[in-house]
Amino acid sequence: MGSYEVSPPPTSLAKSVQLRLGFSTDRGTVSAFFVQLEYWLDGEWRAVVRYDHDSEAPGGHDVTRDGLHRDVYRGGRKIRVESVTGPIPANEAFEYAEADLTENVDMYIRRFKRWHDVNE
């Protein structure tokens, strides 16, 4: 997951659900980030949905140039990239990503459970 200046412990959102994030800043502006919703399945944390921005990384994305996108995971692999916005300042993109995953956690987790045949 790369190296970030700030990478606090994941935040528990529900049983078996957490939000993991990391970011770096340059003079108060977010220079790189990831925000990832994860589900505990088969003894490991699995990516459900991920947002990221890192124009310096090989194959990295620049939200200020390309817009914000959402990576959707199934079976441990990224299966789809969804365009979310046009070009947007990185600070706004970071806030949007965290808010989206927190506010829509139920929808993302229901889909993940359906795809992975999780019955609780």
Q: DSSP readout, 99-110?
A: HHHHHTHHHHHH
- Cβ atoms of 21 and 8 within 8 Å: the answer is yes
4-13, long-range: CB < 8 A, 24+ apart: 4/32, 4/33, 4/34, 10/38, 10/45, 13/37, 13/102, 13/105
What's this model's pTM, rounded to 2 decimal places?
A: 0.93
Treating both helix axes as pointing N-terminal to C-terminal, what angle do 105-115 and 90-103 enclose, rounded to 10 degrees? 70
- The predicted structure's pLDDT at residue 95: 97
Q: What is the DSSP letter of 67?
A: -
Residues whose CB falls within 8 Å of the CB of residue 2, separated by 6 or more in sequence, listed in order: 22, 32, 34, 54, 57
pLDDT 10s digit of each residue in the chain, 120 long?
567 889 999 999 999 999 999 999 999 999 999 999 999 999 999 999 999 999 888 888 899 999 999 999 999 999 999 999 999 999 999 999 999 999 999 999 999 999 999 986
CB 32 within 8 A of CB 4: yes
| pLDDT value, residue 4 | 87
How many C-beta atoms lie closer than 10 Å to residue 53's C-beta? 25
